[in-house]
Amino acid sequence: MDVIVDLQYGDCGKGKVAHFLSRTKKYTHVLRYNGGCNAGHTIFHKGKKFITHHIPAGVFFGVRSVIGSGCVLDPDQFFRELKMLKAGGVPSKGKIFIANNTHIITDAHKNEDRQKGGKIGTTGRGNGPAYRDKYGRTGVRAEHVKRLKPYLVDLYKEWYGGKKVHILAEGAQGFGLDIDWGDYPFVTSSHCTAAGALLNGLPSSAVRDVWGVAKIYETYVGSKKFQPKGEVFDRIAELGEEYGSTTGRRRQTNWMNMQTLERAIRMNGVTHIVFNKVDVLRAIKMWAVIDGSRKVSFKTESAMQSFIVKRLKRLGIPRNRVYFSESKERI
């Protein structure tokens, strides 16, 4: 199994990386392993833009795509996404499945989230209350929703039914939002680490590579103060089109924090890393990171990249596994 994990605060381009890796056709399954419709993965496929909240990226290449038991599911949103794919010319029949023990987001969950979740910057999609009821053992599972019956699978049979499987696990949100390791309480309700993929019936021995995804700067959507003063950060947001794909809210921006990045790399066992949106800093002709308590500026893009590559080498990630990307479709 290869795992995709966001190393920052979400919105880093996991959908793009999952879409790119899915096209290799070396995977039998693409698994969405955490989160719910608070996620928003933007995918450009054959010149068209798609935003998926539940459905894994494998469907775009006919790969068996599974919404795992680590997720929570809004059935209405799920069926809206099926219609979106059909309208966009993407065949999905017989390719999209839901773990029968995935928990359901109800209307009551969504109403509660909208009324009570404002202080921590929730998306208001009902994910937190759904996870709470899951762990409080009062939730509803997908196997209890009749209209989902044609899509249900038993993950044990799916993984251990006799056929060899090669899984691409597509994560949601980001390490900085993880329920245990994020900036609590400004976090999501699920496990956003690479280890979260294992909660979908998979052993630790299944993990082969971990693809970390980050932006060359940082963004954050939520109620805590994140963006420093300075017009440069508004310029980055404008050029990077930094608006949440789920809520439409303007993302706060900042320089990339090296300590935050290194912590995420270590705790997720990252073997490959993709830095997205390098063209944004190139457009403003400013390159910088936060290293400890100081800002480190660079005169050129290549100087900044060399600095990053050297730091990653110390963490065991060689240069040929580091990707600086500006494309919307490729890494």
Distance separating alpha carbons of residues 265 and 181, to the nearest angstrom: 13
CA atoms within 13 A on the CB side of 223: 12
What is the amino acid identity at position 34?
Answer: N
Distance separating alpha carbons of residues 78 and 14, to the nearest angstrom: 19
Sequential DSSP letters for 285-305: T-EEEEETTEEEEESSHHHHH
In which residue are the tokens 């290799």 written? 24
Contact 98, 73 (CB under 8 A): yes
Active site (annotated) includes residue 45: no
Length of the chain: 331
Q: What are phi and psi of 159, to 5 degrees?
A: -85, -30
Distance separating alpha carbons of residues 257 and 291, to the nearest angstrom: 6
Longest dimension (CA), the chain: 60
Tokens describing residue 114: 């909208």
Distance separating alpha carbons of residues 56 and 38, to the nearest angstrom: 14
Angle between helix 127-135 and 107-116 (nearest 10): 120
Active site (annotated) includes residue 166: no
Among the listed residues 2, 6, 19, 41, the single catalytic one is 41
Contact 208, 162 (CB under 8 A): no
Instruction: Give the end-to-end CA distance of the chain in Å, rounded to a whole number.
Output: 20
Contacts of 20 (CB under 8 A, 6+ apart): 329, 330, 331
Helix (H) or strand (E) holding 256: strand 252-257
Distance separating alpha carbons of residues 319 and 323, to the nearest angstrom: 8
Cα distances (angstroms) measured from residue 245 to each of 38, 41, 69: 9, 7, 23
Among the listed residues 11, 74, 113, 133, the single catalytic one is 11
Residues belonging to the active site: 11, 41
